[in-house]
Amino acid sequence: MEKPGVPRRLRAAGIKQRRHAGVKHGLRAEVVTPDEIVRYKLERLDPDGPEIIDKYIKAQTGDLSVLDSQVAAGLASTEILRRKTVERIAERGVDFEERILNAEGLEVGRRVKANPLLDHLKWMGEQQGYTAKQAQVSRESRPRSMDDDERVKQRLAHDERCRATTRLMMAGLIPMLPPPDLDILREDPEVLGPAEGD
């Protein structure tokens, strides 16, 4: 029997029952959505996580301007990493010697290996557009239409020069060329065919 004014000691089962009483009866019940769970987890990883989620949600609706600062920061950080990689390669060299050890740990030889940072530098260069192909300075990257356009321009310029020369000849400013000597051309039967007496 309980005495008034004396606190009752609860057993473990009673403590557990009181701890879960509000949940069981729905007095403090809350509905948690999957989006809120993701936000909570990201907030624990990075305090800016929810803000980044909001930016991507706005970007999905079509407003890409919210990601401008994030894209600029990403490009800047990639460029910084690329520059530091170039500095490290310059310090260590493009290749280096690696020792070959046997099972006992004794050096039995050496081999030359390429610096593994070169692969990372190549990847970062491709991401930033630092390749000859992306800058369109290699033959492979030049569009075929550019070559065709150049040929057409050259042919038109040649045709215009020929027409200008013909106009000058007709005006008498340039002497007319003499007609070709048929006897010289007959020496080559493919040019004029067989002579009349043949």
For the stretch 74-105, pLDDT in tens is: 888 888 988 999 999 899 888 888 888 898 88
Task: Characterise 14 by phi-psi region: left (phi > 0), alpha (psi -120 to 50), beta (else).
Answer: alpha
51/67 Cα distance (integer angstroms): 11
Please give the chain's pLDDT, 198 residues, in tens: 566 766 777 788 887 777 766 655 555 556 778 878 888 888 888 888 888 888 888 888 888 888 888 888 888 888 898 899 999 989 988 888 888 889 888 889 888 888 888 888 888 888 888 877 777 777 776 666 566 778 888 889 989 988 888 888 778 777 776 776 777 666 665 555 555 555
Q: What is the pTM of this model?
A: 0.45
159/167 Cα distance (integer angstroms): 12
Tokens of 192: 């004029």
Compute the C-alpha angle 135/141/147, nearest 5°: 115
C-alpha torsion angle, residues 39, 44, 47, 51 (rounded to 10): -10
Phi, psi of 20 (to 5 degrees): -100, 5
Tokens of 131: 């390749």
Residue of 115, 111, 122 lying closest to 89 (CA atoms): 115
105/152 Cα distance (integer angstroms): 69
β-sheet bridge partners, residue 107: 101
Phi, psi of 21 (to 5 degrees): -65, -45
